[in-house]
A = this chain, B = another copy of it.
Amino acid sequence: MAKVAVTGAKGLIGSAVAAGLVARGHSVLALGRGAGNAVTLDLTERQLPALPPIDALIHCAGVTDEEVKADRDAAMVRAVSGTERLIAAAAAAGARRMVYVSSAHVYGALSGHIDETMPANPLSDYALAHYLAEQIFRRHAAATRILRPCAVFGPLAELQRFRRWSLIPFSFPRAIAESGVIRILGTGRDRRNFVGTDVVAALAVDFIEMQINGVTLLNPVGTADLTVAEFAELCARLGGDLLGRSCRVEIAGKGDTAAPPLEYRSVMGGQRNGRSLETHIVELVRQCSQLGATA
């Protein structure tokens, strides 16, 4: 049984990781800025507090798209120096196994066949920040698994505190609950692999229990491969059934998508069954509509 430090333990992926660790008999040391963490810690500070003894680190608080858009320079600095300080603090506390939750965007444009043998080609600011953090882990050279999920979905404990509504697994169900209409600005033909936080968490916890060393990449691949428009139609259909009203999808973008469709795959064993995308949609539409009703 391991003692595992988890950053972002109150967040979307971190909460699933913390639950997954506890379910398998491990103990969790929650690290983060907010109240309710075992150790209060801000990766933008130059000096981090010493951590109590731990066996492993799972870093689920990498940069978010929102953070990058708000202050790109600060996000880059946190990705480099914040990650380095976090790794140093974890290593000093005894952590010998580490997991970093990165992003599929590190591969570059999300089109065509992508597996772990493909070279990285981070182009967006968001992708660059995740790539920087990956490389900081890589040079530390502890036993490390880097996970690069694509479109992550999962249950939200507290809807009101969630800050990442720009992600379509969340914004589309909410749009159905609030207005019955999903508006897509592009053509909606981009394909995404939708993966549950339970799958990402399982692959993170697996690695804590493994013996393999070195820094390795893993694509957590969910069972749902849909275009953005197909996902929207699924939200409209399931949400409409649940709410008993007619819902619809409006697509503003015209023309063909030139890029080949995404085939997001793993050659390293990252395929895993988990909570279904349909369950996620229904639950989230229900939560959002109840919130709207009580607001």
Contact = CB atoms under 8 A, between A and B. Distances in A.
A135 interface: yes
A138 interface: yes
6 contacts: A72-B81, A73-B81, A76-B77, A76-B80, A123-B135, A123-B138
Contacts of A72: 80-81
Interface of A: 72-73, 76-77, 80-81, 119-125, 128, 132, 135, 138-139
Nearest to A136: B128
Chain A residues touching B, majority SS: helix
Nearest to A139: B123
- Copies of this chain, complex-wide, total 2
A123 B134 CA distance: 10
Contact of A80 (B119, B125, B138): B125
Contacts of A132: 76, 128, 132
A125 B76 CA distance: 12
Contacts of A138: 121, 123
Given A73-B77, A76-B80, A135 B139 contact: no
A236 to B, nearest CB: 34
Nearest to A123: B139
Contacts of A125: 80
A80 B138 CA distance: 21
10 A-B pairs with least C-beta separation: A119-B119, A123-B139, A73-B77, A76-B76, A76-B80, A73-B81, A128-B135, A122-B135, A128-B132, A123-B135
